[in-house]
Amino acid sequence: MSFSPRSLLVTGGAGFIGSNFIHSYIAANPECRITNLDALTYAGNLSNLKAVEHHSGYHFVKGDICDASLVANILAVQNIDAVVHFAAESHVDRSITGPEVFVRTNVMGTQILLEESRKHWKSGNVENFRFFQISTDEVYGSLGETGFFTEETPLAPNSPYSASKAGADMLVRAYHETYGMPTLNTRCSNNYGP
C-alpha cells in the first residue's frame, strides 16, 4: 500500500543524517509539513538547515524526545502521520565513558516516542500512520569473515551505544507485534558526506 505522509515529525533533524534527510525530503515533497524536534546537543547544528529554515512547511522545535507531553503536543497539534526517528546519542567512545545518557535517550526516548505515537495513532485523528526507526548496523556486532550483515544476522551489540540502539530496535519491533503499530526499522552504516 502506498503511503504519502502529509506531516512528518523528524527527531534529531539538526544532526548530520537527519538534516540531509530533511533537505532531501523537502526537495522531493515540498507540500509536506516537517516538524524537526532536536535537543541541539553536541551533534545538532541548526546551520545544517539554513537553506530550509524559511520554507513554509518547515518548523523547528528545540526539545527532548524524553519529554512525553512535548511529544504528545507536537503529534496532536501538527497532526503528524509519520515519525522519522533519527535522534540518538551516538559514538561508541562516548558511550564507554558515559553510558547512562545513551540508555536514557536511545532506549527511554524511543519508548516515549513510541508510546505517544501509539496513543496518537489510536486516537482516530490520523488516517494512516508510520513510525520509522533509524538505527545502525552496529547492533550486529563485529563484522565476521563473511564480509556483510543481513537482516537475519543475530543482534550482538558490543558497546553501550550499540546495545542501546538494539534495545530501541526491539521496542519498535515490540510495538508492532503487540499493538499492530505500523513501524519500520532501518539499519544504515557508514554515513558520510561533505
Listed residue (143, 144, 66) closest to 112, CA to CA: 66
The Cα–Cα gap between 95 and 89 comes to 8
Other beta carbons within 10 angstroms of residue 156's beta carbon come to 14
Told to judge if 137 belongs to the known catalytic residues of this protein, a careful annotator would answer yes
Told to judge if 138 belongs to the known catalytic residues of this protein, a careful annotator would answer yes
Residue pair 80/35 in contact (Cβ under 8 Å)? The answer is: yes
Grouping H, G, I as helix, E, B as strand and the rest as coil, residue 164 is helix
Of the candidates 138, 140, 169, 175, the residue annotated as catalytic is 138
Of the candidates 67, 115, 137, 179, the residue annotated as catalytic is 137
Told to judge if 161 belongs to the known catalytic residues of this protein, a careful annotator would answer yes
Q: How far is CA 107 from CA 63, 88, 161, in A?
A: 17, 9, 10
Question: Per-residue b/e over 106-136, b at no fewer than 16 CB within 10 Å?
Answer: bbbbbbbbbbbbbebbeeeebeebbbbbbbb
Of the candidates 58, 161, 169, 175, the residue annotated as catalytic is 161
Catalytic residues: 137-138, 161
